[in-house]
Amino acid sequence: MVIKDKDSITAFGFYDPQPANCIAGWICPGTMEAGYPKFTKTRGPEIGCKNLAVYWGGCNYKCGFCQDWIHDVMRETSLPRFTEEEILDWVDESTTCICFCGGTPDISMEKVVKLAKAFRNKYSGRILRICAETNLTAPLPELMAFAEIVINSGGGLNIGLKAGSEKVHIKLTGQSNKIVWDNFSVLFEKFGTGRPVPFLRPSLLLVPHYINLEEVETVCRRLADIDKNIPLKFISFLPRRYFAQAGSTNPAFMIEVIKIAKSYGLEKVSPTIDEIEQQKRLIR
């Protein structure tokens, strides 16, 4: 049922079977034994369970390579719209985690916090992790409130860093990344990394011609200066939208990127060089 009243939310939901196609899958309780038995049902992939993605309309970035451009249409039309009560009913008995994504939930973080609290209250006493794919630009008080919910549920913040330097970040997104790094530092200072389930989970999409080795060094150095135990995920680029002619990430480049991360002392990096070498053998 689609609702158009002022209190409804522009979003839609869909399910992914566990282990879900999640950026943080390599460190997530839905895939690994991290947090067992408090935050996951199994010592390994939660086969038979599923993730609920709550896809939020709108974003404050203008990324020409965005694969999820439908969020712009949602913001322009304010459709589809659902009430909080309807969205709460999207969880069923096999749902073990919820990820707020988009677009970005950051532009509506006040509503996200309210909805996350409602999920936790309605389904208290069972495993239901709360996560978000975020660009970390929401107002800090709202991010802190959401972080408390996320940590208590065994979830995490999957942070798309986009770039390390402000200059490149502006070219890619149209926005400065100063607030991103400021919020990251404050969240780390408050919540740290010493948890069974990693909370701050940054990733970097290797956009050709923009995210070069120098830019990778900037990201790795900034993370290492905060804490070398912060997990970092590198994401291979696939041509899309206005970057359709940009080309894909070369495995050799990915290996160089991983070596840079290791040279800065980052302890948890994905993928590993062994995984890349295995992929190369499969391609042959």
* Residue range 141-174, pLDDT digits in tens: 999 999 999 999 999 999 999 999 999 999 999 9
The per-residue pLDDT of the chain, averaged, comes to: 93
Nearest residue to 249 (alpha-carbon basis) of 238, 258, 259? 238
SS3 56: strand
Listed in sequence order, the DSSP H helices in 130-229 are 140-153, 166-173, 178-191, 213-226
pLDDT of residue 196: 87
Residues 6+ apart with CB under 8 A from 174: 61, 62
Long-range contacts of 191-196 (CB under 8 A, 24+ apart): 191/147, 191/151, 192/227, 193/227, 193/229, 193/230, 195/151, 196/34, 196/35, 196/38, 196/39
pLDDT at residue number 3:
42
Closest CA to 136 of 88, 175, 165: 175
Q: What is residue 284's predicted lDDT score, i.e. its pLDDT?
A: 63
* Sites in the chain below the pLDDT cut of 70: 1-6, 283-284
| 214 φ/ψ angles, rounded to the nearest 5 degrees | -65, -40
pLDDT at residue 5 in the model:
60
The structure's pTM equals 0.94
- Environment class of 212 (CB within 10 Å of its CB; exposed 0-12, middle 13-18, buried 19+): middle
pLDDT of residue 283: 67
pLDDT at residue 6, as a whole number: 62
